[in-house]
Amino acid sequence: MTDDMDLAALQRRLAAFAAARDWQPFHTPKNLAAALSVEAAELLEIFQWLTPEQAAEVMADEGTAHRVRDEVADVMAYLLQFCEVLGIDVLAALAAKIDRNELRFPRKDAPRDPSSGASGGAPGGAPGSSG
C-alpha cells in the first residue's frame, strides 16, 4: 500500500479537497450523515432486484464493478469526512466495537447456553448489529 492510499492520508486529501472548494459550510455533521445514508442506498440500489446468485457475480461485469467501487468510494468518503468534522478516529471506533462484540457474541465452539442466543435464532450480523 503506497502512502497516498493510507487511510489518514486519504482523509487529509478529502479535507483539503472540500476546503479548496469552500464546501465546509455544507459539510455539517447532519448533512454528512444524510449524504452517507444516501450513498449507502445508492450502493444497495445496484443489488435491489438481483437474486442472491446474481448479486454474487456483480464484479464479473466491468461496468457494474466500476459502479460498485464508485459507490463504495462515496460511502467511505462521507464516512471519513463525517469522522473528520466530529474528531472521531474511525479505526479506533471499529477496534473497540469488535472488542465488545467478541464478548457479546461468543464463538460457536465456546461453551454457552444455546437458549441465550439472539431472539428467534436470528443470524445476528455483528459487529453491525445494534448494541
- Sites for a copy of itself among residues 54-73 (CB under 8 A): 55-56, 58-59, 61, 63-64, 68-70, 72-73
Secondary structure of 110-124 as H, E, C letters: CCCCHHHCCHHHCCC
Query: Among residues 10, 4, 6, which one has the least CA distance to residue 80?
Result: 10
Among 15, 62, 84, 96, binds a copy of itself (CB under 8 A): 96
| Unique residue bearing C-alpha cell 446474481 | 54
Which residues touch 64 (CB under 8 Å, ≥6 apart)?
Answer: 46, 58
112 touches a copy of itself (CB under 8 A): no
For a copy of itself, the closer CB: 44 or 115: 44
- 44 touches a copy of itself by CB under 8 A: yes
Return the residue of 104, 113, 115, 122 that touches a copy of itself, per CB under 8 A.
122
